[in-house]
Each structure stands twice: as structure tokens, then as C-alpha cells.
Amino acid sequence: MTGGTGEAANINKNLARVAQEFGLGMGLGSCRTLLDSDDSFKDFDLKGLMPDAPLLANFGIAQLEKALLNEKVLSRMQAVLEKLRVDGVIVHINPTQEWLQPEGDRLVHSPLEVIAEFLEKVDYPVIVKEVGQGMGPKSLEQLMRMPLAAIEFGAFGGTNFAKLESLRSTQGNGITQAELTNIGHTAQQMVEIVNDIKRMAPHEHFVDNFIISGGVKSFLDGFYLCEKLNACAIYGQAKMMLDHAADDYNLLANFVDGQVKGLEFATSYLTVR
């Protein structure tokens, strides 16, 4: 979930413990720093705490682009994954965040081209997600045609990382590009887009596994969105987990227990139109 801060190790250990206890999957925060140094490795070394639950590493599209242009970077990435003992990789695409970040990366190639080439070189499960703004119909349709393990929405409506970057940066005469932080697609909109894509091409072979995240505040949000999506879907929560993970493990475990029991009730007794 996070890394590189003083609290990261404790937060991540609590999250890993609760993932093991309740059978949840966990995605690490960006592992970019591990490509250069092992100084923060302890923040990410969590598999021992969750041997029976899926743990996924996380790299940005900019790191993938560099890896494909430089074999040494690709080898280093493979070594990091083996050392972390992860079950797969999440690739996050965040062009708006990078654009607004003063030291952000500028992509040379289309992310879709980079992902397609990356998939040809690796043999482990790969999930693709956006970060904070979501994805529109053209991007989703092309991703759905790739041999991905899943697509995560990372929708507009959760933590707006582009907005966070805009607060750190001004351009030229002090006029910001903050308007860019208001664009995006919500999880609800992306559910509808995916359903439309599948409805318009019922015989096409598409990715059928999705993780819905971005503004999911409770089990009712997650249940509703998963039920509305005409595919195999689970949902993810970041902020709500982090809000309970920093201090007391029991507080986090009680929160997750309530979410799991609420979802069990919703699954048993509720229907969605």
C-alpha cells in the first residue's frame, strides 16, 4: 500500500496480517524505489506475513517503458519480484499525475504498446490499473483484448493523485493546470462502459476479471458495483483500509470483520436492479 515513509513498515505489516486473517488480496505501493536500492525493502517484504493470500507487486508504466528499452532494468525488475515472492504484478498507468508532477515522467511510447510488449516477455500474471482518474472506452476496449489477468479500474472518485500533484506545482506565471484534475471516469461509468463493450461484441474474447476501486467506501458500494458489472468482479479499498491500519491492528481487524460480514449479508439478501 505504501513505502518510503517512517510509518510504512508498520502500516504494511498490519495490512498483510489482516489479509492473511481474512483471505484478502493485497497490492503493494509502487516498487519503483526497489529498482535502485534495497534500503526500503523491509517496507515491502510482506509475503511471510501472508503466505496464503495473494500479494501483488506494483510498477508504473514509466518503469515498464524503461525496462523494455534497457535489459538491465528488466532483469532488475525480475529479481525484485523473485525476492518479494509476489504472486503477480500490477502495472499502474498515471499520465495525468505524472504530467502535473514537477519531476514526473514523460512517456515516449503509448502505454498500450508498452503493455503489449511487456506481456510478450513475462510469464507471470499481470493486472493493469489507472490511478485516480479512471479509463475511457477506447483504452478499456484495447486492454480488454490483451492477455491480462485482470483490469483494475482505479477510478475517479477515490484519492485524486493528480490533484495532490497540482497542489505541489505551478507552471510559469503561477497559473496552474488544476482543471486537469477534474477529468476522469467514475467506477460506475466504467462499469457501464465495460458492459457496453461486451454487449456490442458478444462473441469477442475479452478479459473477464475486474477489480473495482476508486471511491469504494463500504461493502454496499462494492457489492452494488460488482453486481452491476457483467463479468467476474471483486472490489478494492485503499483509503478506508489505511485509515484503520496506522495504529492499532485490532481496530483494522474489527473494521475488516464488519465489512466482510456486511458483504455476506448483502450477497445473501440483497439484489441490484
- Kindly indicate the confidence band of residue 175, based on its pLDDT and cuts at 50, 70 and 90: low
Angle at CA of residue 231, ends 227 and 236, nearest 5°: 65
**Which of 44, 30, 61, 56 lies closest to 236 in space, CA to CA?**
56
Which range is most confident: 97-101, 119-123, 162-166? 119-123
C-alpha cell at 24: 484478502
Asked whether residue 172 carries a pLDDT value surpassing 90, the answer given is: no
Asked whether residue 3 carries a pLDDT value surpassing 60, the answer given is: no
Lowest mean pLDDT of 41-50, 73-82, 92-101, name the range: 92-101
Asked whether residue 247 carries a pLDDT value surpassing 80, the answer given is: no
Specify the fold of 8-269: TIM Barrel (3.20.20)
Asked whether residue 173 carries a pLDDT value surpassing 50, the answer given is: no
- Kindly indicate the confidence band of residue 174, based on its pLDDT and cuts at 50, 70 and 90: very low
CA dist., res. 90 & res. 88, Å (int): 7
The residue behind cell 506475513 is 49
- What is the helix (H) or strand (E) element at residue 212, kind and residue range? strand 209-212
Averaged pLDDT, 220-239: 95
Confidence (pLDDT) at 5: 64
**Which of 211, 230, 221 lies closest to 263 in space, CA to CA?**
221
Lowest mean pLDDT of 99-108, 109-118, 186-195, name the range: 99-108
pTM, rounded to two decimals? 0.91
CA dist., res. 54 & res. 42, Å (int): 18
- Give the mean pLDDT of the chain: 90
Residue extents of the structural domains in the chain: 8-269
Ramachandran region, residue 88 (left: φ > 0; alpha: ψ -120 to 50; beta: rest): left
- Kindly indicate the confidence band of residue 104, based on its pLDDT and cuts at 50, 70 and 90: confident
| Residue 18: partners with Cβ closer than 8 Å, 6 or more residues away | 24, 245, 249, 252, 253, 256
pLDDT in tens, 190-229: 999 999 999 999 989 999 999 999 999 999 999 999 999 9
C-beta of residue 33 within 8 angstroms of C-beta of residue 80: no
- What is the b/e burial string over 17-46, where b = at least 16 CB atoms within 10 angstroms of the residue's CB? bbbbbeebebbbbbbbbbeeeeebeebbbb
Confidence (pLDDT) at 169: 66
Output 179 or 6, whichever has higher pLDDT: 179
C-beta of residue 31 within 8 angstroms of C-beta of residue 57: yes
Share of residues in the chain with pLDDT > 90 (%) = 61
Asked whether residue 267 carries a pLDDT value surpassing 90, the answer given is: yes
Lowest mean pLDDT of 63-77, 119-133, 218-232, 258-272, name the range: 63-77
